Amino acid sequence: MKIDWDRRTCARRGHITYLPHEEHLRDKLRADTALGEAWRCLRCGDFALGTPHGSGPAADAPLVPRGKVLRDLFVLRFLAVERAVRGVFIVLAALGVWQFSNRKDAVRRFFDEYVAVLRPVARHFHYDLDHSPVVGTIQKTFGYRHSTLLLVAALLLAYALVEIVEGVGLWRAKRWAEYLTVVATAAFLPLEIYELTEKVSWLKIATLVINILAVLYIALTKRLFGLRGGREAFDEERHSASLLEVETSAGVPATAHNG
């Protein structure tokens, strides 16, 4: 079922009305009802009771996101939440590495005692803990130097900062955040592909597909790097999407404003 993004947004946030100085537009956007005057919403086109939220020349009417722009904003905010959540988990991982670097000897003793207790149980189920890949990987981390672990923690924090900044910027629909997301995500694609050559998993495949789609979607829909006309075409699209509502609602052809 097709989603009416305009009415869906107005239902959540309310209507946006505007009183243009031009009399012929004002008469078209205003209506008298038994409950008082009503003004046409610049987003959904419905009439809303009450005084308009703003006034001025029609050319200065607010650039209200509508239709496709609202859909794109919804997708961006979904990606923003995903980036922010990922950033929080990476921060927790960095804190874990930092704590581990300061208490490595204590953790090693606890781990050795834990393995010693579980070894007879594992042997009963015909599992050799001494040759377990998981146990071997954990034991290797005990050999890392303190400075190496601190460097890993610092890199994780830097990565988390990038993710959180991306999330905040995407939520606020900032163009610099869209560029940052595309560049940062694309930079890690070769690493994700390399990891698939080492070991294939559905999680890795899903992550790679989502990141590729995110890069293509943002770059194309937001016209980044000069694609599809670049920034100028993007601004024209937003401007026409908002001002066109004023003109069509008033019964004035769209070409009349441009000509």
Burial (Cβ within 10 Å: 0-12, 13-18, ≥19) of residue 88? middle
- Residue 113 sits in the same domain as residue 157: yes
- Residue 163 sits in the same domain as residue 68: yes
Burial (Cβ within 10 Å: 0-12, 13-18, ≥19) of residue 139? middle
- Residue 204 sits in the same domain as residue 160: no
Q: Is residue 251, in this structure, part of any structural domain at all?
A: no
Contact, 54 vs 19, CB < 8 A? yes
Q: Is residue 255, in this structure, part of any structural domain at all?
A: no
Q: Is residue 228, in this structure, part of any structural domain at all?
A: yes
Domain end call among 43, 61, 79: 61
- Residue 123 sits in the same domain as residue 200: no
Q: What is the domain range of residue 49? A: 5-61
Q: Is residue 256, in this structure, part of any structural domain at all?
A: no
- Residue 67 sits in the same domain as residue 138: yes
- Residue 110 sits in the same domain as residue 197: no
Per the document, the length of the chain is 259
Contact, 18 vs 61, CB < 8 A? yes
Domain end call among 114, 141, 169: 169
- Residue 55 sits in the same domain as residue 80: no
- Residue 104 sits in the same domain as residue 185: no
Instruction: Report pLDDT digits (tens) over 143-152.
Output: 778 788 889 8
* pLDDT category of residue 3 using cuts at 50, 70 and 90: confident
- Residue 79 sits in the same domain as residue 164: yes
Domain count, the chain: 3
- Residue 88 sits in the same domain as residue 17: no
pTM of the predicted structure, to 2 decimals: 0.70
Q: What's the confidence (pLDDT) of residue 169?
A: 94
Q: Is residue 39, in this structure, part of any structural domain at all?
A: yes
Q: Is residue 258, in this structure, part of any structural domain at all?
A: no
Instruction: Report pLDDT digits (tens) over 12-70.
Output: 889 989 888 888 788 888 888 888 899 888 888 889 998 888 888 877 888 788 888 88
Q: Is residue 128, in this structure, part of any structural domain at all?
A: yes
Q: What is the mean pLDDT of residues 159-188?
A: 92
Q: Is residue 88, in this structure, part of any structural domain at all?
A: yes
Closest by CA to 28, choosing from 42, 16, 9, is: 42
- Residue 69 sits in the same domain as residue 52: no
pLDDT greater than 70 at residue 1: no
Domain end call among 122, 140, 169: 169
